[in-house]
Amino acid sequence: MHLVLPDNYAFVLLVVSSYAFLNVYQSLNVARTRKAAGIKYPQVYATKQEQEANPAAFAFNCAQRAHYNTLESAAGVYFGTLVTGLRYPLAAAGMGAAYFIGRIIFTASYTKNGPDGRGKYGGAVGGTMPYLFALSTAWTAFQMLKLKF
- What string of pLDDT tens digits covers the 149 residues of the chain? 788 999 999 999 999 999 999 999 999 999 999 999 999 999 999 999 999 999 999 999 999 999 999 999 999 999 999 999 999 999 999 999 999 999 999 999 999 998 887 776 667 787 889 999 999 999 999 988 876 54
Domain topology for 13-147: Four Helix Bundle (Hemerythrin (Met), subunit A) (1.20.120)
- Rounded to whole angstroms, the Cα distance separating 107 from 65 reads 9
- Rounded to whole angstroms, the Cα distance separating 124 from 47 reads 28
Which residue, 144, 118, 19, 125, is CA-closest to 77? 19
pTM over 0.85: yes
- Rounded to whole angstroms, the Cα distance separating 33 from 117 reads 17
In the chain, where the domains are located: 13-147
